[in-house]
Each structure stands twice: as C-alpha cells, then as structure tokens.
Amino acid sequence: MVFRVMFHEPRIPPNTGNAIRMVAGTGCELHLVGPLGFDLSEPKLKRAGLDYHDLASVTVHENLAAAWDAVLPARVFAFTAHATTSYADIAYQPGDVLLFGPEPTGLSEEVLADAHITECLRIPMLPGRRSLNLSNAAALVTYEAWRQHGFKGAV
C-alpha cells in the first residue's frame, strides 16, 4: 500500500496539477476533498500536471465524510503551522494519509479537531513565515515518508 496525499478544498489549480505529477512519480494516491475551488478540466491544472494525469491515482470526494469512508482505517496526519511536532519526527507507514488544507488559509479548526486526525504536524520554517506552497509542502512530506521506506519501487 502507498501513502495517500489528501488536499482538503484546494483552491489553486496549478498546485493540484503539481501534486498530480508528484503522485504519479512516487506511486502515491491523491485524494481531493470538495468543494474544489476549480474544475478538474481547468487548463492551468492540466498544464501543471503535464502528461502525468493518466499515470496518477486521483480520487475526488464530495466532502470530508466521504473521504473518511474511502481511506479509513488509517493514520491521518494533518499539516498546520500551529502544530509543535515536526513532520520529520514521524515514522510513516504505508497507507498513512497526509492531509493538507486549502490555499491560503490551511486546515480549519473544525477539521483539525476531527476525531479521525491522528496527529497534527508542522513543517519547520523561519520565524514570521506563514506557510509553504501547498504542492511543495505535500512533496516534501511525501518524499520523507517514501525515503523512510527506502524509496520502494524507485529506479
């Protein structure tokens, strides 16, 4: 089983396009939780994903409840600048869900308080910085999880 990247209510098409390309390259799954801030046929999303769309596992869920039905049981790590535990301090397991919030607000307090969240994690940054780009943050964490498993399946 692979890692599952989940974008909750993404708003910027190129970020999702970049994530599509990233999951195609890593063998992970991308789960998009609606409502989406764009149409999946958006040209900017297609351009960012290049020709990787057919190689990527992408599932769209109407809402968070539908997403939980599809991915649970699993450990769910929610990423927020307000957490104290670093993403690098976790021993990731295949099947883990890596949950990221919408641009530019991040995950809401309601989502962060969801009982399905195993732990909230942060990506360290210099003081005074709000957040990383969504697709960059997802790639950084996904590659760390995959690295911990010896980049299984990579050439």
Are the CB atoms for 35 and 8 separated by under 8 Å?
Answer: no
Are the CB atoms for 60 and 32 separated by under 8 Å?
Answer: yes
Please give the average per-residue pLDDT across 5-29, as a whole number: 94
Q: What is the pLDDT at residue 47? A: 61
Q: What is the pLDDT at residue 51? A: 67
Q: What is the pLDDT at residue 50? A: 55
Pick among 3.20.19.10, 2.40.50.140, 3.40.1280.10, 3.40.50.2300: CATH of 4-147: 3.40.1280.10
Length of the chain: 155
- My answer on whether omega of the bond before 102 falls inside 30° of 0, hence cis, is no
Render pLDDT for 109-136 as a digit per residue (tens, 0 to 9): 999 999 999 999 999 999 988 889 999 9
Mean pLDDT of the chain: 92
How many other C-beta atoms can be found within 10 angstroms of the C-beta atom of residue 10? 25
Render pLDDT for 61-103 as a digit per residue (tens, 0 to 9): 999 999 999 999 999 999 999 999 999 999 999 999 999 999 8
The contacts of residue 18 (CB under 8 Å, 6+ apart) are 48, 49, 135, 139
Residues 84-114 as b or e (16 or more Cβ within 10 Å = b): eeebeebebeeebbbbbbbbeebbeeebbee
Please give the average per-residue pLDDT across 137-145, as a whole number: 97
pTM for this prediction: 0.93
Q: At what angle do helices 13-26 and 134-147 cross, to 10 degrees?
A: 10
Render pLDDT for 20-64 as a digit per residue (tens, 0 to 9): 999 999 999 999 999 999 887 767 666 655 567 778 999 999 999
The domain segmentation of the chain, as residue ranges, is 4-147
Q: What is the pLDDT at residue 1? A: 63
Q: What is the pLDDT at residue 44? A: 63
Q: What is the pLDDT at residue 40? A: 79
Q: What is the pLDDT at residue 38? A: 86
Paired tokens of 30: 């991308």
Q: What is the pLDDT at residue 48? A: 53
Residue 119, amino acid: E
Distances (CA, A) of 65 to 58, 61, 88: 17, 9, 28
Q: What is the pLDDT at residue 45? A: 61
